[in-house]
């Protein structure tokens, strides 16, 4: 067998291997670990789950009337949007509307796809009154996208919340004059403490850094096994409550 033929077979093998890994991760990163009632409306929170968004709107708040601080959330790569439903609902129970934007194929892996996501975000913002204050949030790859959006369209948002991500890495956001919070886990294998601290120079000096001691990558959501996530030494519930507290502190600063 020629060297050319061997190289060709190796390339096919690697292609099939990585396709298999992506498919495995896609199914592993389905939402799990919470009661289905989280996605159902009740007297305190109205839930709308469509092909493009999951909306959690407090019954006491009308986002359409304006003057409301609200959150738009980008999920992590390959993570089912519903994995962040418990977090979003808790924010809504505290009076803040939350919209989780679903990403096509759960992964905007090209610049063109990311721009399409951003255009949808801007379209959503314009569908509500100008007086609504939007906090853009995201986990992992979603956090990277949130950072990119804030660099391209800083005038569109009033706050930035980065969760379990080392981004921004390549862009300079030091000139942002909006509240910024970064939440990260001490046991996160995909966005390590060293990386988060190393790239902190790309964020404004007023950025609030919140370290969740014992927290890993995947417990910022509710889903299955994620390669490289790290081993948490605290429960998912504890990690989620610390994330909630950090998020509410940012939101309260905008009221």
Return the pLDDT at 65: 86
Looking at residue 176, the DSSP 8-state letter turns out to be -
**pLDDT tens-place string over residues 89-104:** 999 999 999 999 999 9
Query: What is the CA angle 113-119-120, rounded to 5?
Result: 95
Determine contact, residues 217/190, Cβ cutoff 8 Å. Answer: yes
Bridge partners, 183 (sequence order): 163, 210
Return the pLDDT at 29: 78
Q: List the strands of the sheet with 133-139, edge to edge.
A: 45-49, 53-58, 98-101, 69-74, 133-139, 159-163, 180-185, 208-212
**pLDDT tens-place string over residues 147-161:** 999 999 999 999 999
Bridge partners, 222 (sequence order): none
What is the distance between the alpha carbons of residues 180 and 167, in angstroms, rounded to a whole number? 13
Long-range pairs of 36-41 with CB within 8 A, sequence gap ≥ 24? 38/85, 38/86, 38/89, 39/82, 39/85
Question: 31-252 falls under which CATH superfamily?
Answer: Alpha/Beta hydrolase fold, catalytic domain (3.40.50.1820)
Return the pLDDT at 225: 84
What is the distance between the alpha carbons of residues 202 and 29, in angstroms, rounded to a whole number? 30
Tokens of 107: 């992964």
Determine contact, residues 199/168, Cβ cutoff 8 Å. Answer: yes
**pLDDT tens-place string over residues 185-230:** 999 999 999 999 999 999 999 999 999 999 999 999 999 888 899 9
184 pLDDT more than 60? yes
Return the pLDDT at 105: 87
Span 103-115, average pLDDT = 91
Tokens 């910022």 sit on residue: 220
**pLDDT tens-place string over residues 234-253:** 999 999 999 999 999 999 99
**pLDDT tens-place string over residues 1-34:** 566 566 666 675 555 645 555 665 666 679 999 9
255 pLDDT more than 80? no
**pLDDT tens-place string over residues 45-89:** 999 999 999 999 999 998 988 889 999 999 999 999 999 999 999
- Report percent pLDDT > 70 for the chain: 89
Torsion 209-210-213-218 (CA) sign: negative
- pTM, two decimals, is 0.91
């Amino acid at each position: 067998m020629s060297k050319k033929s061997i190289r060709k077979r190796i390339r096919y093998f690697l292609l099939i291997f990585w396709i298999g890994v992506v498919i495995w991760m896609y199914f592993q990163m389905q939402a799990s670990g919470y009661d289905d009632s989280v996605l159902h409306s009740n007297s305190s929170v109205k839930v709308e789950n469509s092909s493009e968004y999951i909306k959690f709107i407090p019954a006491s708040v009308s986002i359409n009337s304006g003057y409301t601080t609200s959150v738009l959330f980008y999920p992590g790569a390959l993570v089912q949007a519903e994995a962040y439903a418990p977090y979003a609902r808790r924010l809504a129970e505290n009076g803040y509307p939350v919209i989780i934007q679903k990403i096509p194929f759960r992964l905007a892996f090209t610049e063109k796809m990311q721009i399409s996501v951003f255009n949808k975000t801007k379209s959503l913002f314009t569908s509500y009154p100008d007086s609504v204050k939007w906090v853009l949030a995201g986990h992992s790859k979603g956090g990277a996208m949130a950072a990119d959006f804030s660099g391209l369209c800083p005038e569109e948002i009033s706050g930035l919340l980065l969760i379990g991500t080392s981004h921004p890495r390549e862009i300079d956001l030091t000139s942002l004059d909006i509240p910024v919070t970064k939440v990260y886990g001490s046991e996160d294998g995909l966005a390590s403490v060293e990386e988060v601290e190393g790239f902190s120079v790309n964020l404004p000096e007023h950025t609030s850094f919140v370290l969740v001691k014992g927290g890993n990558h995947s417990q910022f959501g509710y889903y299955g096994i994620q390669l490289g996530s790290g081993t948490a030494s605290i429960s998912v519930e504890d990690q989620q409550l610390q994330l909630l507290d950090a998020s509410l502190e940012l939101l309260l600063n905008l009221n």
